[in-house]
Amino acid sequence: MLAETIKHPVEHLFPYSVPPEEYSPGMVTWYNSVCGMCPAGCGISVRTREGRAKKIEGNPLHPVNQGRLCALGQAGLQSLYNPDRLTAPMQRQGERGSDEFVQTTWEEGLSAVAQRLEMADRHSDSVVLLSQGVRGHFANLLELFMRELGSSRLLHYDFAHPHSLHAANKKLFGEDQLPYYDIANSRYLLSFGADYLNNWLSPVHHSLGFGHSRQGDDSARGRFVQIEPKMSISGAAADEWIPARPGTEGILALGIANRIVEGGYTGGDAEDWSAALTAYSLTRVAEQTGVPAETIARLAEEFTHAEPGLAIGGGAAGNHTNGVDTLVAVNALNYLVGNIGKPGGVVFNPAPMSSRSAIDRPSSRHANHQAMQDLAENARQGGVMVLIVNNANPVFTLPQSTGFKEALDSIPLIVSLSSFMDETTALADVVLPSHTYLESWGDDMPQPGVGFSVGSVSQPVVSPLYNTRATGDIILGLAAKLGFREAIPWASMEDFLKDGWREIYARRSPASDDFDSFWRDVLRSGVLGENVRRESTAAVDKRVIDGIGVAEPEFSGTNDDYPFILHPYMATSMYDGRGANLPWMQELPDPMTSIVYGSWIEMNPVTATEMGVTDGDLIRVTSEQGSIEVPLVTFPAIMPDVVAMPIGQGHDDFGRYARGRGSNPIQILAPTMDPESGSLATSATRVSLVTTGKRAEPAKTGGVARQLGRNIVQFTDGSSEAAGHSTKVNGIPIVVEPA
């Protein structure tokens, strides 16, 4: 599974002339690896035959996903075998953005980049490496490389990185990390906007937890409450969906916290809490959030007496101008019911396995929106000589107001390491395409992890399809060309990885000397877990308590001109847009609306009637930053003055399946940020909606979404031990005697 070849081996029925030892036609070989489709880091087992990857399953041994896998993970095969993969290094020929590239060799490509890097002044920080969020040893390699290059500007950039959650944890608990939320053992989950079943942090693990909490324990069934302005699939799965005014979720949390403190919280710092929360009375909170006072009181009651209760926050609630404070409030709830470090609660993770990598990239490493704006500004002022982009697509995932695309004009050299011609790569000067994750060596220490130390190894499952290289190998190649042999002596990513794991091995078994067996075992299982846990701090600094408070959310645009609040959300199949070039993902119906192959905007049916619009009308959505056109869909579970739109479509490039399809709501988002975390407040944009008079029916797989009394989905009130089960046939109950 090494090195590039000239012929495409997969074109032959039996792709090898000299096959590896373990290969035989008709025989199946499984390889364990790590999924690279989202940051959760689930373990995968890939079924291969005749040197081709056929099916991706979850790795049963991996503690994050335990043999299960989400739809996007399954679609990884279509990333590997995508017809629009970049097949060889390229150099730009025409104008930037003209899509005129000419193929070149690795030697030339690497030399061209190395030359420019050498020219860059060693300590001026004029070289920027903008990468998708990376963990594990590859992150170390990037750090090493940038250090040798003399630049401190290594930026990890993910649209969905939970900056506010990091900041909130740091603020309240002093932990700059993503904790593990033990949903499986929780019996009452209060989610403030976190779409934990869809794409928040680690959705497969959360789904496992959800399933277990629901029906995996005979003694009790978990109750789930979702608080958000538009129902997500987590909201659909919840027992109760509570629409609170957008951006006031934190106020609601503090209202509940106040009730908890009033209702007999016995911690030592009760007085401090009481003082801090006194302003969040039921009536005030009810007024600000729009949630009835009785409901707030009841939620507090239920949460306190749940055994145990867990509160999580994210999504729109975490991405607002008061996002950090909101998530602090949510975490405060956990603290007040004492679930920190306990089963069913918030568990902090131990340090990652490798001693080299930091616990997660420190917040400063992950580029928040402020950092991206600063980068754009700096670029415009000529402060960036070389920009290397690794699998990030800021031209798509940043709002137009950032001006990132225009800022790129001022950067003399842009290098992209992406596997696809996405919008950012289309503006590059040199393209050094990477292998996909299924062709690469790597490792991962998953965040938020599972409460104990986990390391997984990613290995290539097929020979490389094209004349691409593993990203690590590209960096090593550049390092070699730049003469960094001393600091970066490794010849290949595989060697680098193994060296890193040698250290892990040495730490575990200092007396032993059989790294090869250990390595083989790790590769076979795909994952290594260590029963190292972390004592979770259960103390909150008084100053923090005193400072607790959630301000009212701020929105861009006045209410009069822009009567609706735009709620963009990551579509199940698209994540942040990366799923758009995968036909399976385009064809996967949106769970809530069954729409495929396009964008849409959701509106409350009553509002739609008042506005005189109906499903399929093409609507112009305008914010202060710009406007897009998108078809309307009426949606029963959304607040009357909120409109929601999925993120992921609206690509200008990125292959035949993604190009020219739908609209990208990120474009028209206001540059409003949470001042504390610097993250983009994605739900702080107000918009106006005007019908264009044209029609644009979305493509749907579903028909009418009402049961009309046909008892297709049947309900029970949960009282177990029913004497028989009752079948209703057209309204006439027929009781079936147990056999």
Least Å from the CB of residue 193 to other proteins: 16
Question: What is the spatial distance between Cα 426 and Cα 654, in angstroms, rounded to a whole number?
Answer: 9
Place of tokens 């950067």: 411
Least Å from the CB of residue 734 to other proteins: 8
Cα angle: 141, vertex 143, 148; to 5 degrees: 95
Residue-wise DSSP of 287-308:
HHH---HHHHHHHHHHHHHSTT
Least Å from the CB of residue 148 to other proteins: 37
Least Å from the CB of residue 453 to other proteins: 23
Q: How far is CA 687 from CA 553, 634, 645, 668, in A?
A: 16, 17, 12, 9
Nearer residue to other proteins within complex by CB, 238 or 251 = 238
Question: What is the spatial distance between Cα 235 and Cα 251, in angstroms, rounded to a whole number?
Answer: 20
Least Å from the CB of residue 235 to other proteins: 8
Least Å from the CB of residue 353 to other proteins: 25
Nearer residue to other proteins within complex by CB, 269 or 590 = 590
Nearer residue to other proteins within complex by CB, 198 or 440 = 198
3-state SS, residue 189? strand
Residues in the chain: 739
Residue type, 551: A
Nearer residue to other proteins within complex by CB, 291 or 388 = 291
Residue 260 is encoded by which pair of tokens? 């908890």
Residue 139 is encoded by which pair of tokens? 């992150």
Nearer residue to other proteins within complex by CB, 216 or 267 = 216
Nearer residue to other proteins within complex by CB, 79 or 390 = 79
> Other C-beta atoms within 10 Å of 452: how many?
16
Distance from CA of residue 575 to its chain's centroid?
Answer: 7
Q: Where are the beta strands (DSSP E) in 36-193?
A: 43-49, 52-58, 90-92, 101-103, 127-131, 154-156, 180-181, 188-192
Q: Give exposure, 403-425, as e/b (b: 16+ Cβ within 10 Å).
A: bbbebbeebebbbbbbbbbbbbb
Least Å from the CB of residue 705 to other proteins: 5
Place of tokens 């495409």: 8
Q: Which residues pair with 311 in a beta bridge?
A: 190
Nearer residue to other proteins within complex by CB, 58 or 133 = 58
Least Å from the CB of residue 611 to other proteins: 15
Nearer residue to other proteins within complex by CB, 65 or 664 = 65
Tell me whether the omega of the peptide bond preceding residue 448 falls within 30 degrees of 0, making it cis. Answer: yes
Q: Which residues pair with 727 in a beta bridge?
A: 734
Nearer residue to other proteins within complex by CB, 87 or 140 = 87
Tell me whether the omega of the peptide bond preceding residue 308 falls within 30 degrees of 0, making it cis. Answer: yes
Quote the DSSP letter at residue 738.
Answer: P
Q: How many CA atoms lie within 13 A of 259 on its CB side?
A: 23
Nearer residue to other proteins within complex by CB, 53 or 276 = 53
Least Å from the CB of residue 416 to other proteins: 22
Question: What is the spatial distance between Cα 108 and Cα 106, in angstroms, rounded to a whole number?
Answer: 5
Least Å from the CB of residue 475 to other proteins: 27
